[in-house]
Amino acid sequence: MPELKARVAALDPVWQRLCDEARQVVLDEPLLGGVMHNNLLHHPSMERALSFRFALKLSSPEISAQILREIAEEAYADAAWLGEAARADLVAVHDRDPACHRFLQPLMYFKGYQAVQAYRVGHWLWRKGRRDMALFVQMRISEMFGVDIHPAARIGKGIMIDHAHSIVIGETAVVGDNVSMLHSVTLGGTGKEDGDRHPKIGDGVLIGAGAKVLGNIHVGANSRIAAGSVVLADVPCCKTVAGVPARIVGEAGCAQPSLSMDHRLKE
């Protein structure tokens, strides 16, 4: 058995660490033993655990947990990128959020992480042409987590959405890899125009709390958007923008702002 556990850990260290942390919770807080077994320890893989969590959080009198679980399990079986993104997002939250001390926390307690994983299942549905089911998932994510991400939006891996309350990401928005954003961020349009109308966010961008990025504009890789800013024009790579409307106020300050999470403006 120890040899088998070692092989499993080598194949999927993220899942093995989640299970180890769940077992420790059972020892430290026995009242949560059933919760840890139902959500993690009962399942053979991270994908199955995420499917259970997806169904548990989004089920309602309108659609059962069983149906939602079957949808999520089908999605994870069909698209390996879903599990890969879930692991990358988990590691991103653990590495960037100083309040996150265990891998278990985002999966069990952080609505930003849970909302993004649920969005990813909705995005899979959208790509499969199951538009109404995808929109139903979007609605339930908004109701449960206070996060509204259109299932057609394209979001990369290694995403960290801290606190996540009141996040809005529009239909034609594109978010690159290793992006970090805080609560109340909007990636929206500027009116009722149709077509490609939402922002394109490059890799490694850091978006501060309450920032609004509006219209079909591009934010260059490794840039920073200061908290409370309203961005209405393209942002070059590796710059910091701030203000209403936002303007360039300096360099980004480091190679990858989304990893450093440093929001301070230099004098």
Q: Angle 12-111-231 (CA atoms, 0-180°, nearest 5)?
A: 110
Other C-beta atoms closer than 10 Å to the C-beta of 34 total 11
Task: Give 112-150 pLDDT, tens digit per residue.
Answer: 999 999 999 999 999 999 999 999 999 999 999 999 999
CB 226 within 8 A of CB 213: no
Share of the chain above pLDDT 90, in %: 90
Task: Give 205-235 pLDDT, tens digit per residue.
Answer: 999 999 999 999 999 999 999 999 999 999 9
Task: Give 145-174 pLDDT, tens digit per residue.
Answer: 999 999 999 999 999 999 999 999 999 999
Q: How confident is the model at residue 4 (pLDDT cuts 50, 70, 90)?
A: very low
Q: Angle 40-43-45 (CA atoms, 0-180°, nearest 5)?
A: 95
Residue 116's Cβ-side half-sphere holds a number of Cα atoms within 13 Å equal to: 32
Task: Give 100-114 pLDDT, tens digit per residue.
Answer: 999 999 999 999 999
Which pTM value belongs to this model?
A: 0.93
